[in-house]
Structure 1
Amino acid sequence: MHDILRTDLITGLKLLWKECFSEDDDAYIDFFFQNRFDEKNLYYEMENGEIYAAVHLLPCYVTIDGREQKALYGYAGGLRKKFRGLDRFKGVVENMLQKNPNVFLFCPKESLVDYYKQMGFVPCFCQDMIETDEALQDENKKNDLKISPLESAAYENMRNDFFQGEGYVRWDLNAIDYALKEKRFCGGFTHLLHYKEHQYALIGEVKDQQLILEETTIPEEQLYDLLPSLCNIYGASRGTAYVRGKKTSDPMCKKHLIGMSNHLITHQNAYMGLTLI
């Protein structure tokens, strides 16, 4: 471990974050460090007393060949600008992998997918997008749809039951609790949908009159039917819902790559979920 005070460590990490992710404001960065940061889940490198690279390694579990294994999700990995162009980040990742012989999961920006491929990571986490360009006012259905707050403990059980299978990434209760808090902090919603005698999770946001369901436990065959009504409930004119990736010929579905791994090379339709944490 580097010899650095915790306050100096956090200051250096925040400086690195702002330089690598300029779209994130100070409030969001502070929110992460106050609610999710743990020095034990951090890999960083220094030069001349300065943090020039870091990756937050968030622990999770992934099912591979029917067995659940420990994994690390690399979040907010970055390199100071003055060190770029020298392929330094590749060396950082190689050092990190040597010190942490785990299954690693990354969600790189689309522009960096080829770069991660060069480091041995394989695209394997994908989702399908279901889209609708209309909101319907179905009074009978509207009366059957009720929304209430989604509790972390309840959702941990719901998502495990719904998504469990090959390539599923499972998060513990603390991770799920943070993810839901973060979604609300960023202006999104975390709701429990009551429909007839069933309950389903809804996690997402409304942006530019578009309802975006980033994760839901509504069965896909029902989602086609409910999405227009949900658009109406949330005051959106159109909607998009992300579901577990699979082979499909339905024209409403579009494939969406969300993650890569250094191990899951045979599971092209693995499911990650809650990737914002």
Structure 2
Amino acid sequence: MSIEVKHPQPHNVLAMKKIWQTCFGDDMSYIDFFFERCFNPEHALVAYYDYKPVAMMFLLPTSLKISEKEYMGAYIYAVATKPDYRGMGIMKLMEQKAVEVSTSKGIKYLCLVPQTKSLYHMYEKIGYKTTFYVTQKKYMPLGTPNSSEIMIENCNKIEFTTLRKKFVHQLNSFVEFDNELQEYRFEEFVHTGIHILKVTTTKTVGYIVGYQEKDCFVVKETSLDKDDLTKAMNVLVQKFKVTFVKVRGQKGVIDEILPFGMYKSLSPEIDDIYVKAKNPYMNLMLDYFEGE
């Protein structure tokens, strides 16, 4: 039987939801939420085997800003192949189709975040390069926080959007979703129980995005500088009753540097070497990845 890759039709949604649940194990309430709020057939591909959907891929619109110039791109997201159809080269066919349709729309690059270390090597074979890195540091509590120096409370959508835009746009180079997906990202945080916190210190107002994982609070992103972040750690430990805090992606806060995102140029306007040299910031914070 031949394999055909194309944009899905509305009647394929139920089959796509089943592929998602089989490959990622999410409950149907979250899957329904994603498709209701984020699904656009033009931003998705489905692989059909014997006319049945057996794999899928999303191409979420992004932009890459480098030194005041912006380039349209797509974030490859939630790539999944049903178990019985793996090892047939379907993911490679979908990626080839992603390049074809993206190029036809004037998209200049594709980017993605592999779920496992082994997938970096697989994507290298089809032209992706590790371009985005993330720092990581583990904090232990340092004592009793001074409540007069720092306050942490829930952050609403308008506050978060404003604070994050200010944080990202102070960077020289970064990758970001379009406006609609930025709103969806916040709503997904709320829906999945991720904490969006406003942090007020003696010198600034910033934010922390994170979640609790057993005895650890994991910070996915923060706009705080190193000093204010250090003060916030003790408050987080007490607030969430954890023993330590792990911070990802904060500049100047490093225990280790890890490979994170990969990039593939579709245009000579922004070649891979140029992009890597500019070291763009990438943290789209939608963390569902490949199921193949």
Contact 1:54-1:79 within 8 A present in 2 as well:
yes
Matched, 1:145 2:150: yes
Q: Does structure 1 residue 267 correspond to structure 2 residue 269?
A: no
Pairing 1:155–2:160 present: yes
For residues 231 and 256 of structure 1, the distance between their equivalents in structure 2, rounded to whole angstroms, comes to: 25
Provide the aligned C-alpha RMSD in A: 2.4
Rounded to whole Å, the distance in 2 between the matches of 1:150 and 1:274 is: 18
What is the aligned partner in structure 2 of residue 191 from structure 1? 197
**CA deviation after TM superposition for structure 1 residue 192, in Å:** 1.0
Q: Partner of 1:267: helix, strand, or coil? A: helix
Do the aligned residues in 2 keep the contact of 1:63 with 1:167 (CA within 8 Å)? Answer: yes
What SS class does the counterpart of residue 283 from structure 2 fall into?
coil
* Secondary structure in structure 1 of the residue aligned to 2:17: helix
Q: Give the number of equivalent residue pairs.
A: 269
Alignment check: 8 A CA contact 1:210 1:239 kept: yes
Partners in 1 of 2:186 and 2:204 — Cα distance?
Answer: 21
Secondary structure, counterpart of 1:201 in structure 2: strand
Q: Would the aligned equivalents of 1:53 and 1:78 in 2 still touch at CA under 8 Å?
A: yes
Identity %: 19
1:18 is aligned to 21
SS in structure 2 at match of 1:134:
coil
Q: Hey, what's the Cα distance between the residues in 1 that align with 2:136 and 2:12?
A: 39
Pair 1:226-2:232 in alignment? yes
TM-score (norm 1): 0.86
Q: Which runs of 5+ in 2 are unaligned?
A: 266-271, 288-292
1:50-75: per-residue Cα shift (whole Å, max 9, x none)?
11222111111112455211111111
Are 1:130 and 2:118 matched, yes or no? no
CA distance in 1, matches of 2:82, 2:212: 33
Asked whether the 8 Å contact 2:20–2:80 carries over to 1, the reply is: yes
Aligned pairs (5 A) from 1:202-213:
202-213=208-219
> Shift of the alpha carbon at 1:2?
6.1
Amino acid at match of 1:227: M
Q: How many angstroms does 1:82 deviate by?
A: 2.5
Deviations 1:8-59 (A, max 9, x none): 311111122122213x222221221122212221122323221122211111
Q: d(CA) in 1 for partners of 2:150 and 2:66?
A: 37
Check 1:166–1:80 CA distance in 2 against 1; reply closer, same or farther (3 A cut): farther
Shift of 1:3: 9.4
2:167 paired with 1:177: no
| Residue identity in the other structure for 1:112 | L
Aligned partners of 2:193, 2:43: CA distance in 1, in Å? 27
For 1:142, give the aligned amino acid.
S
- Of 61-70 and 32-41, more deviation after overlay is shown by 61-70
Write the distance in 2 (CA, Å) between the matches of 1:68 and 1:220. 29
Q: 1:160 to 1:190 in 2, by over 3 A?
A: same
Q: Distance in 1 between matches of 2:216 and 2:22?
A: 30
Distance 2:7 2:67 in 1: 41
1:68 counterpart = 2:70 = yes
The residue type equivalent to 1:231 in the other structure is V
